[in-house]
Chain A
Amino acid sequence: MKRKIFSEVSKGVRKVDAVALATGQPVYTDDFDIPGMLHGKILRSPLAHARIKSIRTTKARRMPGVEAVITWRDVPRIAVTTAGQGYPEPSPYDKFIFDNKVRFVGDEVALVVADTEEAAERALGAIEVEYEELEPLLDVRKALKKGAPVVHDEKDCRVIIPIPYEPRRNLVARVDAAIGNVDKAYKASEIRIDREYENHISAHSAIEPHCSLAYLDPNGRLTIVSSTQVPYHVRRIVARAMDIPVKRVRVIKPRLGGGFGSKQDIVLEPYVAAATLKTGKPVKIRMTREEVFVSSRTRHGMVTNIKIGAGRDGTINAIDLHALSNTGAYGNHGLTVACNVGMRTLVMFACSNMRFTSDVAYTNLPNAGAYRGYGGTQGILPTACAIDELAVKLGMDPVDVLLKNIIAPGAEVPILNELGEGATTGAPRIGSFELAACLRVGSREFGWKRKLARKKDSGRYRRGVGMSPMIQGSSIPYIDMASAFIKMNDDGSFNLNLGATDIGQGSDTVLAQIAAETLTVATDDIIVYASDTDLTPFDVGAYASSTTYLSGRAVKKTAEKVKELILKVGAEMLETSPDRVRLEKAKVIGSDGASVTLKQVGTYSLYEKHQFQIAACESSTSEESPPPTAAHFVEIEVDTLTGRIKVLSYLQAVECGTPINPALCHGQVMGAVVNGLSYALVERFIFNSRGKLLNPNYDYFKIFCSRDRLPIKTIFVPSYEETGPYGAKSVGEVCINGPMPAISNAIYNALGIRMFSAPFTPEKVLDAIAKQGMK
């Protein structure tokens, strides 16, 4: 592959907001303070499943400082989905801002608005609610069985696209996608694997809790400032929920302290909207950390069943994957997370008999939603572990089994049509796909073959190695859209207005680099303003690993239009024609060597002659979702006395096209791996028998953090995606998928014990040793 030379792209440029963040400038939603602002606190259900028989708010309203108490009687009963997805959303409209039924411990019951948070908090206790408790449904394996409690028995929940939705059976969605004849091919296979795995519910742990505030501007328009990944979807859905026109709503996203998917839903925004519309005053609501655990969003827990049939030479003949997904009390993201389980697993295989099915079910547990990996994390666990088991049965290296069976770059992937992503005539085709290179490079650099062949340890401490492949996507083809606006200033700098949403990953910087590369200026000459629905053009927001790829394409397209205008003006100044000039290092240069600077062009166009604003606004959709790929390798040591797993070394080989900002790219994959290891080894929700979360705090919900100093090495494998801006694909999600299956495979390598559900806590490891015995 010929290496391309860039001037701003592929540089570790300092983040455009670095100084503001590092010096503690007031840039987050909670830093906004408006004179006369009120504070909201939400009364949340103590029960997992109940009807509200009565709710009396008189005492609360009379308490000092209280301006309003809002319940289901005070807001329009309009069903929405809280999923931050493009319209028409593939998630059911099953959420009412306040309802007369509660469906999980932590569900919203009422809102108190007062002059201080403390006054609002005190008034919560004065609201008198009489509940009729109903039997809660807490086990997703029972959700679809006859006689299960019905989570959504209301008449007005529905889906707006033609997909299966049977709320009276707790069925949120069903997926059924197949190619070839899976049953026949599996039955005919010499080696057959048939296993069940389980992924647990978990929390995102963004540093910044959810926070939103709303106010009426001088013209009476509702303005919402929110820690959100999806400002345009917030605008649309809040307008619907409040029954007001979209044109009366403005949404602004300031800096975010992380999201990871937890803010790809409409969480607090309708409540601040309702409060401001009721009181006429600014209102802020911020979640406590406990509320974030209980009442924001979680990862979908899943039970997955996998069957793989193969020949003795390691050729995979059939793959059958089923996922039973627990979406919790509401169905937002239920169908699409389930579809991704199939899309981020089966797609990597060149197998002509594959099937993916899924049932997505309601339970009376916390509301699942988008979480980095988005089904890919749940799907790769059974897939990579089944491949490992197949390799053991065959006496082969799992890397070699994968190399024998994965698709090549440019391959057609017919199962994508059945799963829906990028469905097109014929079959969707994958562009760049360097998973094989990741496997080879990672295997070599890790010393995989040597470590795999190592004599097994005996004694208390036992080492083991494991690996996993993974893929993700880059944007949602045919569905999502991004836009950018660029205007030129008289000093040769540019304003870049983006709908795209920087949630801490650094997309403002990355997109500025793309613009700078196209306009041949320094990134410092691009001034970014983003995520304001009044002032920045439409962008779906930060999800589906779309910002670098899709928003980047929009930025490049816009910058190229601006470049055309610059060349036209520069040519006029140089008294030549536009086809005789070029843009290079911030100058328009004629074929005779004469030149004008961008400062001269800017000043000329604004002040001197034939004045006009050099500017452009362009949009981009995509027809494919080019997958970033990775291969992860881990060496662990298991203390067979305590069950504790220690990560000795971890290597990830990642290909994501051109890393636009290598430093930020590295940050993304490192953060994803730490998140994935944390999920695999320590994170765990503990519920009581009535559905109440017992550990909604970091004292008892453990996560890895920087002090854990995990020994992770990263190698970026070169690739170039022709459809991406300067060859880029995405990188934000893919690496969270690897740790869990890699660790599970390493446990087997160390102990001869397969563990089918995480987290792989010391207690679970000891339990597995006791039940299965070490080999």
Chain B
Amino acid sequence: MCGVMRVSIELRGPLRAPEGGKNLSLELPSGVTVQEALAKSLKYPPEQIRHLLVTRDGESLPLSRKLLEDSRIQVFLRLGGG
């Protein structure tokens, strides 16, 4: 399909998708950014997910990075308390 690509997202730690589950496989518009992919998959406004660390193959990805077809990204929640 023109203009659509598949992205795999693995949620780590306490993160969960709204429908449940930790592994998502999504069809998204080509050229979507990391932040857009997360906002769509996690259904939260982009400004509320700034504490996420997103990696691909051990490399940290900025939220503005455009994803490529068949991207497999891992998402960690930076958390802490005291």
Q: Which A positions have Cβ atoms within 8 angstroms of B?
A: 85, 88, 90, 160-164, 173-177, 333, 335-337, 339-340, 343, 370, 374-375, 417-426, 472-473, 475-480, 543-546, 625, 733
Q: Which 8 A-B pairs have the closest CB atoms?
A: A336-B81, A544-B82, A420-B79, A476-B80, A423-B76, A162-B42, A421-B80, A478-B78
Residues of B contacting A473 with CB < 8 Å? 80, 82
The docked-state distance in angstroms from the alpha carbon of A480 to that of B42 is 24
> B44 to A420, Cβ gap below 8 A?
no
* The stretch of B11-19, B29-37, B64-72 that contacts the partner chain: B11-19
The docked-state distance in angstroms from the alpha carbon of A370 to that of B82 is 7
Mostly, the B contact residues are: loop
The docked-state distance in angstroms from the alpha carbon of A340 to that of B82 is 8
Q: B1-34 interface mask toward A, CB cutoff 8 Å, 1 = contact, 0 = none?
A: 0000000000111111110100000000000000
Residues of A contacting B11 with CB < 8 Å? 162
The docked-state distance in angstroms from the alpha carbon of A423 to that of B48 is 17
Give, as a whole number of angstroms, the nearest-CB distance from A8 to chain B. 27
B side interface size, CB within 8 A: 28
Interface-central residue, A337, A420, A479, A625, by most chain B CB under 10 Å: A420
A-B pair number, CB within 8 angstroms: 120
List 14 additional A-B contacts (Cβ < 8 Å) besides A175-B13, A420-B13, A544-B81. A88-B48, A176-B13, A339-B14, A339-B79, A420-B76, A424-B60, A425-B55, A425-B60, A475-B82, A477-B80, A479-B78, A479-B79, A480-B80, A733-B82
Q: B33-49 interface mask toward A, CB cutoff 8 Å, 1 = contact, 0 = none?
A: 00000000011100011
> B81 to A477, Cβ gap below 8 A?
no
> B58 to A162, Cβ gap below 8 A?
no
The docked-state distance in angstroms from the alpha carbon of A732 to that of B17 is 36
Residues of A contacting B12 with CB < 8 Å? 177, 417-418
**Which residue of A175, A335, A343, A423 is within 8 Å of B78 (Cβ)?**
A423
Give, as a whole number of angstroms, the nearest-CB distance from A625 to chain B. 7
Give, as a whole number of angstroms, the nearest-CB distance from A332 to chain B. 11
B63 at the interface (CB under 8 A from A): no
Mostly, the A contact residues are: loop
**Which residue of B76, B77, B81 is within 8 Å of A85 (Cβ)?**
B81
- Given A161-B44, A161-B49: A423 in contact with B14 (beta carbons within 8 A): no
> B55 to A420, Cβ gap below 8 A?
no
> A176 to B14, Cβ gap below 8 A?
yes
Identity of the chain B residue whose Cβ is nearest the Cβ of A333 in the assembled complex: B81
Residues of A contacting B49 with CB < 8 Å? 161-162
Identity of the chain A residue whose Cβ is nearest the Cβ of B58 in the assembled complex: A425
> B48 to A161, Cβ gap below 8 A?
yes
Residues of A contacting B60 with CB < 8 Å? 424-425
The docked-state distance in angstroms from the alpha carbon of A19 to that of B14 is 48
> A625 to B80, Cβ gap below 8 A?
yes
Give, as a whole number of angstroms, the nearest-CB distance from B25 to chain A. 17
Identity of the chain A residue whose Cβ is nearest the Cβ of B57 in the assembled complex: A425
Residues of A contacting B44 with CB < 8 Å? 160-162
- Given A160-B48, A161-B48, A426-B58: A421 in contact with B79 (beta carbons within 8 A): yes
The docked-state distance in angstroms from the alpha carbon of A586 to that of B14 is 51
Give, as a whole number of angstroms, the nearest-CB distance from A371 to chain B. 10
Give, as a whole number of angstroms, the nearest-CB distance from B59 to chain A. 6
Identity of the chain B residue whose Cβ is nearest the Cβ of A344 in the assembled complex: B82
Interface-central residue, B14, B49, B55, by most chain A CB under 10 Å: B14
Residues of A contacting B18 with CB < 8 Å? 162
